[in-house]
Amino acid sequence: MTTVAVLGLGAMGLPMARHLSGSFAVRGFDPLPERAAMFDGGRTSAREAAEGADVVLVAVRTADQLRELLWGEAGIAGALTPGGVVLLTSTVGIQAVRDIAGRLDEAGLHLVDAPVSGGPTRAGDGSLLVTVGATDEGYAAAGAVLEAMAGTLVRVGDKPGDGQAMKTVNQLLCGVHIAAGAEALALADALGLDPAVALETLGAGAAQSFMLGDRGPRMLQAYDEDGAEVRSRLDIFVKDMGIVGDAARGAKLATPIAAAAEQLYLLGQAAGLEASDDSSVITVVAPSRRQKEAQA
């Protein structure tokens, strides 16, 4: 049976690990012991989880975390045998992935660049959108795991970095849609409409989007005392919209709408919302509602 190590048991890594364990021998690791304890195949170190694995699925937040995992104290690159696969599911930037892939290639290892989209629920049922950039050899070696993860699997290119490029385009739209949804529901409230009725109405017409339908209900909860359930942290979009901006500048392309959305997430971070759900960006657009409710 193929052995898969899942390194990073966060909001996406944990449900992916649980889903894959139905088809593969899966080991998991997370630097937070409480997260590692949530998975039956949890290990005490990243290297222990990766040792001898056929595919190492990595779910980290940044390129620096990926480099540290591969060649830092954990040093999992040294635990893999030639021909082994590092399956990257994170969004960390195009050039960073190309540089890391080159270094892995020198050691006889494949980097399969396969960022995912769809959220924790789809990670748990194997219906994610997975956009892949990989060599023929890497793609073949990771094929069974990719198929198990994905509801929609698209190989967008034959080299690492191509998957990141497609995910960057995806995140531009996602980040803009969340920001636009926040503005729309804040405007509905400011015009005296019931935001819940407005959300239901918008969801039945041409203004509907996945992000409005998914984040909209949590935007309505963002003003509650405990805020919305955290399913996707706001600082993820600070990172991702930064990647969008870097990519656009590198391509000499203006992206003014994405830039405006990025500023909204940066304002949220500055307001201390970095660990809050990204739907809380509505409170940056319309902080007055929270103030009014506090005074009521």
pLDDT digits (tens, 9 = 90+) for 128-166: 999 999 999 999 999 999 999 999 999 999 999 999 999
The pLDDT tens digits of the residues spanning 93-119 come to 999 999 999 999 999 999 999 999 999
pTM of the entire structure? 0.92
* Averaged pLDDT, 238-266: 98
Question: Which pLDDT score, from 0 to 100, does residue 293 have?
Answer: 61
% of the chain surpassing 70 pLDDT: 98
pLDDT at 59 over 90: yes
Mean pLDDT of the chain: 95
* Averaged pLDDT, 49-71: 96
pLDDT at 288 over 80: no
| 252 a catalytic residue | no
For residues 134 and 155, is the Cβ–Cβ distance under 8 A?
yes
Residue 25 to residue 22: CA distance in whole angstroms = 8
Q: How many beta carbons lie within 10 A of that of residue 152, not counting itself?
A: 12
* Averaged pLDDT, 65-90: 95
Which residue intervals of the chain bear CATH 1.10.1040.10? 165-295
DSSP label at residue 278 = G
In CATH, the architecture of 3-159 is 3-Layer(aba) Sandwich (3.40)
pLDDT band at 290 (very low <50, low <70, confident <90, very high): low
Catalytic residue among 159, 167, 239, 252: 167
Partnered with residue 101 across adjacent β-strands are: none
For residues 230 and 266, is the Cβ–Cβ distance under 8 A?
no
The secondary element (H helix, E strand) that includes residue 68 is helix 63-71
* Averaged pLDDT, 202-226: 96
For residues 277 and 228, is the Cβ–Cβ distance under 8 A?
yes
Which residue intervals of the chain bear CATH 3.40.50.720? 3-159
Residue 200 to residue 26: CA distance in whole angstroms = 41
Looking at the domain 165-295, which fold is it?
Answer: N-(1-d-carboxylethyl)-l-norvaline Dehydrogenase; domain 2 (1.10.1040)
The pLDDT tens digits of the residues spanning 168-190 come to 999 999 999 999 999 999 999 99
